[in-house]
Each structure stands twice: as C-alpha cells, then as structure tokens.
Structure 1
Amino acid sequence: MTSLLKTVANEVRFAKHPRVPAEWEPQECVWIAWPHNKETWPERFEPIPTFFAMWVKLIAESSPVRVLANAELARECGKLLGPQRQIELIDVPTNDCWVRDYGPTFVLGDSGTHLSLVDWQYNAWGGKYPPWDSDAAVCKRLGSEFRLPVAVSELVVEGGALEFDGGGRLLTTPSCLLGKNRNPGVSKELVAQELHRLTGMTEVAWLDGGGLEGDDTDGHIDQLARFIDRENVVVCVSNYPHDKQASGLHQNWLQLKAWAETTSPRPEVHQLPAPATRRVNGQAVPQSYCNFLRLGSERLLVPQFHAPEDDYAAGLLRELSGADVTQVDCSDLVWGLGALHCASRDQPKLNTSEATA
C-alpha cells in the first residue's frame, strides 16, 4: 500500500488544514439511513421502522435530519414520518442502516469555511455481511449530489472506530484499524499518517483492552469511550465481574487513565457502567451508554436498555455535558447490534462568519 490518498472526479478542493469537529460543536444536520434489511434484526424487524420514525422526529425537534431512502423506501418513510419541515429524504440506496460506519467523515478546512468528505474503504466490518456495495458508494453519491470535494483513502475505516475531540486528538482501537480483515500489514504509523493527512489528527490513543460481548464490529470505540469535551472522557466499564467483557473493559479504563496523564489538556476519565450482558435468542447484544448521540452542545440522546444503570448513565452524562438529556429506548434497536450513534452521522456547520468576512 503506497499512496493511500486518492481523489475523485467531483473534487473541487479538498480541505486545507483539515479538522474533524467534535460532536458538541454546531451541527448542520444529522444523517440517518432508513432501515430495510430484515436480516439485521432476524425475526424482530417489525418494530424497527416505527422506532426510526419516532427517533428521527425526536432529532428533528432541534436539528435538521437528512434520511437516506430510495424511492421505494421513501413511501414508507412518508407514511411514518408525516409532513415534517426539518426532515428531508435523500434518494440514495443503502444495504443497511449503520450510516455512522459507511457514511462520510465530514472535514472542515480553511478556518471552518469549507466542507470536504473523506471516503474510507468499507467492507461491512471485515466482510461479515455481504453485500455492501450500496453502502460503500454512499460517500461518493453524497459528494456528487451536494457538489462537495471528496478524498478517497485506501484504508478500510468505519466511522464508529474514530472518536475525535475537535482539537486533534483521537481515540480508537487497533482491533478495528489494524485488523487482518480490514487493513492487513498496515502499521500504526501509517494509519496515523493517513489520519493526520485527511482529518488533521495529531495525537491518537489506542485502546486494546477489549470490546463488548456481542459486538460484531471487533471493538468500535463509540461503544467503549467518548469525549464529552476536551477535559472529560467517559469509558464503558462493567460492574459485573463474571461478565466476559468485564476484564477487557477494565483494561480500557486503565489505559485511558494512563494516556490522560500524558496529554494536554488533561481529561478526567469517568466510568460509565454498562448493563449486565443481555442475550436475545442466545445471542449477546452490545449495550453501552457510550453509544449516545450528541446534537451539538445543547442536547444529548442516551440509549435506554431497561436496566438498573439507565438513570445513573443519563444523570452522569447530563452532569458532565450540561446538555439536555433525553433517554431513548433502544431495547429493540440493539438487537441489530448497534444503537443511536451507530445509526446516525452528524454533519458539522460551516463557519459562515469567516467565509463572509
């Protein structure tokens, strides 16, 4: 793998001095992909479209929402969503709903006055769930549709594997970015170089303690640790020592605490306890409050699992963020092995004051 950076025909100018904003910064909109793949929720798909309609309308109370749905799905969307001023349907086909992972990484450049897209390679979490051709084409389709510059990388990367603080720091896991089923033979140094070139990342913390039981992504960071701001990080832990995931999650916490002592500004690392492992039809499902959706600085949607930890998690996130926190029942959604952050993609707002100055 030599030059990892490519460009596509619709590129006008990729971002100079690229930066991926933090999710608490102002947002232009939130992207959702309408669910239709019944194999994602085997024998339990029926309530999912209704859940998405409720969730999209909840987001639209404070943020515009763009929903990926082809013409056939758009009819179903229209019936469930009804007339909504803040919701726009975009005719783009998908294979599955996990737009966090195959959607573009939105990058601001030139003091925030230009928006560009990074199109990572995508292979459905290491080739687990074919076909993924439509999902892999989404970024280029959006670049063409909205006339935005796109940079294409040869690295296989899912959005849920990257957690940015908006100031150049990144949390991730080697099990995803260096896995043989994604980027065989690629070193940490090369990955860091590519992330720096495309996102402006200057510092990376690698967590290799382990992931959640039932997580089919091989350990996405958005289930394990999240920035609340540049001085506070939450990390998923287990208070159930007999859970298989407990030891690995504890190691992640120790690694984050050690990293926090070496970086500036120094973040406080807060434990965010996960529920006990839940099984559906014998299959463990990954339940983590780290999979929250941040809607800028004022609002935060937190998964709810009907577990004893629900209210504590919501309270801690409310206290740390200062945001209005809404709990969203994800007990059906999580059977698809993801939650709110996995099924959404935030687009940052341009700095129009700089652009017109």
Structure 2
Amino acid sequence: MRMREVWRLCVWLGAGFGCGPVVEEAPPLPLNRYEAQQAQRARAEALVDALPRYYPWQCFPDRYGFTPSPGGVRFPGEHESTGGLLLGWGRPDCGHPEQRALLLAAVGHVPVYVLAAPELHPTIRDCMTREGATPEQLQQLNLVDLEVDSVWIRDYGPDVVAGAEGTRRFVDLVYGPYAALYCNTHAADHCDRVPDDLGRRWNVPVDRPAVVLEGGNLLTDGAGRCFRAREVTNRRNCFPGWRYPEAQTDEVIGRAYGCDVVTLESLEGDVIDHIDMWMAVLSSKTVLVGRYAVRDDAVNAAILDRNAQRLAALGYDVVRIPMPTPYCQDDGDSCLGEPGRVRECDGTNTRVWATYLNSIRLGDVMAVPVYRWVPPSQAWRHQGQEQEALATYQWALDREYGPGAVKVLPIPSDTVIPCQGALHCLTKTFR
C-alpha cells in the first residue's frame, strides 16, 4: 500500500521551470535510500502542515544559519583533488565491501579520513586488517571522531572550495528542508551537522548558502563551470521556505561555488536525480557521459544523447561510456544488493540503476564501479559493456594525462548500487 502522507511538490510553469504554487500529492513508496530519506522528511512536514513551522536554520542559526557567500572562490575539479578522501562509517560492523575496497585503493595515493564515532574505531581497524591492510596502511588511515548515520557522505559532507587567498573553505548545503512544530523537537541529525563539526575541528570556515542541493547532483570542471540535473533540485527549492525559479537556484549555487551552473536534463524513471549517476568530469576539457542502447532504454538514451550534444556545444570533448543493460532485484528488507534476489525485470521487481560513471579519482588511480551480480541471461552483454567502459576510461585517461599516469581500478559495487549509489556517492575528495 502506498503511503498517504502529504508530499509537497512544485508545479512547474512553462519551459523555464519556474517555481509555481505549492501543491499536495501522495508520495510513492520509498524504493531506495533517496526516496526513503525524502519520505521521512515529508512525513515530518505533513504533521505540521497547517501550523507554524520552524526550520533548522531558524532554530539553530549558529549551526545552520545562512551566511553570505564570500566571493572570489573556486571549486576545484576532482581531477585536482589530491588533498584527501572522506568516507563516513556509521555501522558497528565491517560496513560495505565497496567501502573497504575504496580504503585499500586510496591508502598511499591520497590522505584518507574516515568519519566515525570513537567506539567504532577499533572495529574499522580490525575490519581493514581482515581485508588485508598492512600495519603501514592502517597507520595511514586517519580516523576522525565524528558520528555519522549514513555512508552516503557525498550528499551530506562538505564541498571544499578555494577561497580568495587559496585557503580552504567548506560549503554546507541544505541537506533537507524539513520542519518541526517547535525548535526543541528537531531530531538530532549526525550527518547534517558534519560540515559544521568538521569545519570547527579543522579550523576551516563554513559557508551556508540558502539552497537545497545534495552533493551527488553537483559536478565541476574546476575552470569555472558546474553541472547539475534539473528536476528534483528545482523541486527541492520550491517549498514554503523559499520559492526559487531555476535561474535563481543556479545563481545561488554559482555564487557559493564561484562557477556558472549548467543545468542538464534529468533521466526519467525511478532513478535518483543525481548527475553523478550518468556523468563524470575527467578534466577541465573532457567529460564522460553515459550512453544507453536504444533497445535497453530508448527514453533515457535520447536524454543522454541530448545532454552530450549540449556539453559538446559548450566546447567539451565528450566521451561516451556504455550504461549497463537494465536488470532488477526482488524486493526485500533492504535495498542493499544480494545475489539471490537479482532477476530480469518482469514488472514485479525493482530496477537496478547500474552505472560505470559513479567513479572517483584517487590520485593516480581511477576507481570505477563494476557489477557481477547480474542475471545469467544477460551476463555476456554486461561483460562486453564492462570491458568497453574500462577500456574507454583508460584510453581517455592516457590521452589526457599520459600513458599509465592514471590507472583504472574496477571495484565490484553490487552491494550498494541497488540503493542508487556507488563509489562516487560513498566519498568526498578535496584539493
């Protein structure tokens, strides 16, 4: 049965996606991490829909209050990001295999920082020892005493920009515009406070622009341009707190990050509306964009083709990466992947939005997600697509940085991808 709580959405007026009157609509049943998160906040909104509402930035201005963007900042591209890798570890066990693989891949290539409650630190060291980490590698793991509730640090962690003097600044975006009847009824959100807590610990100033945006929906070329997908971010910035048209949303983002924002078409279907699911930025001049076979997904094939054409018209060298043939997973207690639940799509199960584009640069390593838990009837197609994707990555990197300067490392990501995220979503990097 679908939930009947009130869901606040925008009605878009005309081709400009202006912010129109807020209307009410029933939310769909949450199928993944993103939908579950938003449904929870929608329920909180619905409980106080007809009453005065207080948002976190009103109740806790020192922690969440908005600040003017300082100007003169630059958002470095991930191809420059050798200053460090951030991960969040919130589970009292060995976490997901993708996290452990990322840690092993990153140690020795970039400084590694794992945010976790102090009581989890011994567990993390023990898990990594069992994963094969050497004592020298364990010494290079910086365990930071910050409690988090989620592994998806891409969405809630700080973005790091370079200030006018070249020093680091954090940008802390609104994680979710949820409200409460009274300020003292706001539940603790260990993830939402990470940028502020980490900024105090590292003595980094924090800028808080008044805009709702998750980190998975923002990429940059490092040369003054940023990219996002259109639909959900437009909707998130049309609520009782403020009602931005698309141009104003882009203006606020651009001012905070020092970039001109390019808004691209969103994919259709029940996929999370994050641009890092189908695009990656290899350098200031080269971008990777997914490519669906028409027989696999004709609608999204056309959308990605149009986005690629738009980027090419802006002067980028656009390299196309195949998108895996769609497959599905039977519903269970969790969205996390299990090999026994993988099936061909038959209308009774949930599509797995697998992608090779949710990759992350780790110094001289490019970690690329790959998938092995696929229906046997499709295995031959997936093998061919994986080989093409990895070879194309390596060819593009060799052309950009010289042969072998950056090496592709495939990391199986079957556990997390049904939750609509992979390696990029599990990480934050910074210069």
% of aligned pairs identical?
22
Give how far 1:48 is off: 4.2
1:274 aligns with 2:318: no
* Match in the other structure for 2:264: 207
* Match in the other structure for 2:359: 292
Inter-partner Cα distance in structure 1 for 2:115 and 2:426: 12
- 1:165 maps to a residue whose letter is D
* Match in the other structure for 1:238: 292
1:320 aligns with 2:369: no
Give how far 1:250 is off: 2.3
- 1:250 maps to a residue whose letter is A
Give how far 1:94 is off: 1.4
* Match in the other structure for 2:102: 55
1:175 aligns with 2:231: yes
Alignment CA distance shift 1:189-1:13 (3 Å): closer
* Match in the other structure for 1:191: 249
Alignment CA distance shift 1:118-1:259 (3 Å): same
* Match in the other structure for 1:19: 74
2:140 to 86, 104, 108: 86
Cα deviations across residues 265-293 of structure 1 (Å, max 9, x unaligned)? x1122221111112111222221111001
Give how far 1:226 is off: 1.8
Inter-partner Cα distance in structure 2 for 1:68 and 1:311: 34
* Match in the other structure for 2:303: 251
Structure number with greater Rg is 2
Inter-partner Cα distance in structure 1 for 2:392 and 2:253: 31
1:147 to 190, 203, 213: 203
Contact 2:289 2:320 in 1 (8 A): yes
Contact 1:272 1:313 in 2 (8 A): yes
Give how far 1:50 is off: 4.3
1:99 aligns with 2:99: no
- 2:105 maps to a residue whose letter is L
Alignment CA distance shift 1:191-1:293 (3 Å): same
Contact 2:287 2:316 in 1 (8 A): yes
Structure 1, gaps ≥5 residues long: 38-45, 349-357
Partner SS state of residue 133, structure 1: coil
Give how far 1:12 is off: 12
Alignment CA distance shift 1:93-1:253 (3 Å): same
Given the two structures, how large is their TM-score scaled by the length of structure 2?
A: 0.68
Alignment CA distance shift 1:239-1:326 (3 Å): same
Alignment CA distance shift 1:50-1:256 (3 Å): closer
Give how far 1:248 is off: 2.3
Alignment CA distance shift 1:7-1:60 (3 Å): farther
Give how far 1:137 is off: 0.8
Q: Superposition RMSD on alpha carbons, in Å?
A: 3.0
Contact 1:48 1:332 in 2 (8 A): no
Q: When the two structures are aligned, how many residues end up with a matched partner?
A: 322
Alignment CA distance shift 1:169-1:337 (3 Å): same
Given the two structures, how large is their TM-score scaled by the length of structure 1?
A: 0.81
